[in-house]
């Protein structure tokens, strides 16, 4: 595969392949940042990849009090799924089990203006056992659900739209230390400079990139053997360059293709500045997985 040069780093002339998923964007507010973050981290747990998780989800960013409906610190999360009905079930489960149970939280729709809505708060109201009330608060229809702390406030319905999932790039480096530093730099740059995206894997970094299906077993996905450094001398078609001993993948989901592309560009630019990075690549399936493509050469 041909490559381009960006300083000392090679950029493969390839593309990341993406697909559509339904997404909702949720704003969680709390008495302070600690409880907002804890609620969000709990709500997006076990949601790294739809291959094996019940959803894909992640934290977008913190929101200052002056930008939230109730004037408290907030945090934005995204939840993605293949169908609207499955997404609604995941929203109900994650907000009901992980946010309603968390001290001081309230929950608002953060994807306004969409044609379709998921009546998540309307479903959660039943926890109030008949004592719940629908009220107009902060210019929104909010359910007031009595709980032992006082009241849990949740918006009646949440916007839903088709988002973009599977944006990605690979960081190839000479050793684990330099590759991890580059991956961390990429994640921090994306979080700092791009809105409307999440990175669903732990800390935004995936060490076990996968391919569709398996060479040997009847399972939906298996290790991406072409990019495993330990298999460079084992498989004839290995795509691991000489000198590369660690590869990390950064996976990005977003509200739009433009936001995913901006995130990939920020991440790649940050990663190639770290000494020890040898090459940047991306994962695709020859255009068979999804309709969206982002070419690495367009990010430079």
The predicted pLDDT at position 112 comes to 85
Q: Are residues 102 and 193 in the same domain?
A: no
Tokens 């298996």 belong to residue = 222
The predicted pLDDT at position 285 comes to 80
CB of 249 within 8 A of CB of 168?
yes
* Structure token pair of residue 264: 């990939």
Cα distances (angstroms) measured from residue 292 to each of 18, 30, 207, 270, 296: 5, 37, 24, 24, 13
Q: Find the length of the chain.
A: 300
Cα distances (angstroms) measured from residue 248 to each of 40, 173, 281: 25, 9, 10
CB of 136 within 8 A of CB of 55?
no
Q: Are residues 110 and 227 in the same domain?
A: no
Residues contacting residue 197 through CB under 8 Å, at least 6 positions apart:
60, 167, 190, 252, 253, 254, 255, 259, 260, 262, 263
DSSP SS3 for 210: strand
CB of 254 within 8 A of CB of 260?
yes
Q: Are residues 140 and 214 in the same domain?
A: no
Choose one of 117, 144, 161: the last residue of a domain: 161
The predicted pLDDT at position 181 comes to 98
Q: Are residues 73 and 139 in the same domain?
A: yes
| Structural domain total, the chain | 2
The predicted pLDDT at position 289 comes to 74
Choose one of 122, 139, 161: the last residue of a domain: 161
pTM: 0.96
Q: Are residues 75 and 113 in the same domain?
A: yes
Across the chain, where does the E strand assignment appear?
A: 3-6, 9-12, 15-29, 56-63, 74-81, 106-109, 116-118, 133-137, 140-147, 150-155, 158-173, 197-198, 210-212, 221-223, 246-254, 277-281, 292-295
The predicted pLDDT at position 290 comes to 79
Q: Are residues 144 and 194 in the same domain?
A: no
Q: Are residues 233 and 199 in the same domain?
A: yes
**Domain region containing 200:** 3-18+164-299
Q: Are residues 61 and 97 in the same domain?
A: yes
The predicted pLDDT at position 286 comes to 73
Q: Are residues 143 and 223 in the same domain?
A: no
Output the domain CATH number for residue 233: 3.30.70.520
Choose one of 108, 127, 161: the last residue of a domain: 161
Say how far apart CA 179 and CA 196 lie, in whole Å.
26
* Structure token pair of residue 20: 């559509």
Q: Are residues 82 and 177 in the same domain?
A: no
Cα distances (angstroms) measured from residue 288 to each of 80, 150, 250, 292: 21, 51, 20, 10
Instruction: Encode the chain (300 residues) as per-residue pLDDT tens digits.
Output: 788 999 999 999 999 999 999 999 999 999 999 999 999 999 999 999 999 999 999 999 999 999 999 999 999 999 999 999 999 999 999 999 999 999 999 999 999 899 999 999 999 999 999 999 999 999 999 999 999 999 999 999 999 999 999 999 999 999 999 999 999 999 999 999 999 999 999 999 999 999 989 999 999 999 999 999 999 999 999 999 999 999 999 999 999 999 999 999 999 999 999 999 999 999 998 777 778 999 999 998
Residues contacting residue 53 through CB under 8 Å, at least 6 positions apart:
46, 47
Q: Are residues 260 and 144 in the same domain?
A: no
Terminal-residue alpha carbon distance, the chain: 18
Q: Are residues 11 and 82 in the same domain?
A: no
The predicted pLDDT at position 1 comes to 73
């Amino acid at each position: 595969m041909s490559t381009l040069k960006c300083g000392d780093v090679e950029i493969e002339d390839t593309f990341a392949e993406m697909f559509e998923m339904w997404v909702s964007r949720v704003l969680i507010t709390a008495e302070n940042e600690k409880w907002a973050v804890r609620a969000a981290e709990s709500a997006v747990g076990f949601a790294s990849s739809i291959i094996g998780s019940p959803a894909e989800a992640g934290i977008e960013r913190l929101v200052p009090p002056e930008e939230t409906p109730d004037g408290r610190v907030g945090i934005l999360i995204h939840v993605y799924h293949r169908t609207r009905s499955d997404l609604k079930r995941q929203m109900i489960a994650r907000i009901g089990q992980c946010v309603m149970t968390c001290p001081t939280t309230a929950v608002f729709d953060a994807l306004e203006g969409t044609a379709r809505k998921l009546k998540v708060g309307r479903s959660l109201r039943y926890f109030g056992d008949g004592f719940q009330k629908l009220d107009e608060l902060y210019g929104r229809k909010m359910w007031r659900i009595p709980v032992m702390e006082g009241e849990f406030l949740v918006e009646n319905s949440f916007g839903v739209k088709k988002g973009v999932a599977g944006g990605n790039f690979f960081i190839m480096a000479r050793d684990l230390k330099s590759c991890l530093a580059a991956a961390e730099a990429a994640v921090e740059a994306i979080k700092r400079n791009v809105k409307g995206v999440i990175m669903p894997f732990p800390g935004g970094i995936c060490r076990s990139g996968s391919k569709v299906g398996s060479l040997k077993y009847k399972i939906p996905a298996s290790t991406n053997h072409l990019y495993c450094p330990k298999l460079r001398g084992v498989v004839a078609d290995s795509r691991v360059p000489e000198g590369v001993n660690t590869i990390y993948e950064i996976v990005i989901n977003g509200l739009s293709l433009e936001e995913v592309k901006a995130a990939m560009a920020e991440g790649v630019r940050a990663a190639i500045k770290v000494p020890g990075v040898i090459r940047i690549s991306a994962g695709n399936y020859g255009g068979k997985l999804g309709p969206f493509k982002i070419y690495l050469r367009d990010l430079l």
